[in-house]
Amino acid sequence: MATDDKKEYRDVLTLLSHMGSGPAVINKLDQLTVKMQDPRLCETLKKMAQFFREQPELAHAKKFRLLDFARNYSMNSGSRKEASDGIYRVQRYCEQHVASQVPQWELIARAAGWTPPGTAS
């Protein structure tokens, strides 16, 4: 396995627990999407960045951590609850991919509908 295999998933997990200003966290989300190979994760991160951009108190926060947001709003209702749930889903998704023995390219290909030659559909 290549040393940087699944690096993008590890980078996302690092960002989820990173403390930074609101703008810095949002910018990092944007930066991750630029080099993201997993289209499902890329789209989710873009939506997360857009959501946080639209929250003035978060977009301008001096200290902000995505997992803290998820914890603080997990019992709410509405869009903040949905964002909280989304953060936890991203965390689980990335953890599962990092733990998998399957190479990243194959995980992405299978998610897109590819099946290995010789396997029944």
Please state the pTM of the whole predicted model: 0.84
One digit per residue, pLDDT tens: the chain, 121 residues?
445 789 999 999 999 999 999 999 999 999 999 989 999 999 999 999 999 999 888 878 899 899 998 988 877 778 888 888 999 999 999 999 999 998 888 888 888 889 888 776 5
Q: Which two tokens stand for residue 37?
A: 């190979």
At residue 13, the pLDDT reads 97
Q: How far apart are CA 64 and CA 60, in angstroms?
A: 9
The DSSP result for 86-118, as a single string, is: HHHHHHHHHHHHHH-SS-HHHHHHHHTT---TT
What Rg value do the Cα atoms of the chain yield, rounded? 16
Q: How far apart are CA 121 and CA 116, in angstroms?
A: 9
At residue 24, the pLDDT reads 94
